Amino acid sequence: MMVCQKMNIAPKPRAMAYRIVTSETHDVARIQWESEPTDMTADELLEGTAFSEGRTARVDRVVKWLRHYLTENGGRAGAKDVLRAGEALGFSKDTVKRARARAGVDTAKMGLGGWEWTLGEEEGE
């Protein structure tokens, strides 16, 4: 499968399937493309692999840290502060953002002051 993992400037293209077959004329390997694209995503293809399990465990650690960080800060903090604190511990911004979604953290625009992250009702009680 050839799958687009990330696309910032256009809609993601559909995944393309192929096989590696032996060329009948040259007795070497060649790619044979399937006739139709597929709707599978990279995440679906990697589900259950060591890659996805490692990624899930990493995000789970960041979820735990994020809930603790917000609790220690009264249940809310500026997004820039959260991302800086996470980076100081070696967490990428993307991983912290994935953890935010999984942790049930709400976001709200604070006028011209940026974004604020708040623990959801269940996590903040």
Quote the pLDDT of residue 60.
87
Looking at residue 123, what is its pLDDT? 42
**82 inside domain:** yes
State the pLDDT at residue 125.
42
pTM: 0.56
Q: How many domains does the chain have?
A: 1
User: Is residue 50 assigned to a domain?
Assistant: no
Q: Which residues pair with 38 in a beta bridge?
A: 15
Strands (E), 38-103: 76-78
**pLDDT per residue of the chain (125 residues) written in tens, 0 to 9:** 788 777 789 887 888 888 899 988 888 998 888 888 887 777 676 665 555 555 667 888 899 999 999 999 999 999 999 999 999 999 999 889 989 989 999 999 988 879 999 998 654 44
Residue 92 structural domain: 58-124
51 domain residue, yes or no = no
In a domain, 75, yes or no: yes
Closest Cα to residue 3, out of 50, 37, 30, 35? 37
DSSP 33-65: E-SS-B---HHHHHTTSHHHHHHHHHHHHHHHH
Note the pLDDT of residue 55: 65
CATH number at residue 71: 1.10.10.10
Q: What is the pLDDT of residue 52?
A: 52
Q: Is 25 inside any structural domain?
A: no
